Amino acid sequence: MFLSKKSLPATKADLQVCRDLIDTLKAHENECVGMAANMIGVSKRIIIVHTPLAPIVMLNPVITAHSKESYEAREGCLSLLGQRPAKRWESVTVEYEDMSFNKRSGTYSGFTAQIIQHEMDHLNGKII
């Protein structure tokens, strides 16, 4: 029930949630590639995404553009057993704030884009 609620905007008072997400992702690195704050019981618009270089924490992320190409993925989730189908765009452009509340923007493709879309679904109360 909690995961089906839309998350509220993150503020500077939520920086500890960012650190908790970093620690939780690290603790589950063998079975998890991203997390949303509501997965640790905090209904705030914060996600963490494992990328090839390093994890990225995104506060108040918004997808501002996406590719025309999409595909059917099969995704698992720490919150659910098994895998389920999900339609994903091949690439997304995301505007977000970093942990210093600086505005950032990035374009991501492939598996990283898929992770971002999955975690943002959580923020919007959508569970695969």
Alpha-carbon span 48 to 57, nearest angstrom: 4
The helix/strand/coil state of 101 is coil
- The reply to whether 119 belongs to the active site is yes
| Catalytic annotation, pick one of 69, 75, 95, 119 | 119
C-alpha distance from residue 55 to each of 10, 21, 49, 93, 125 (Å): 18, 10, 5, 17, 23
Nearest alpha-carbon partner for 119 in 81, 83, 88, 82 = 88
List residues with catalytic annotation: 119
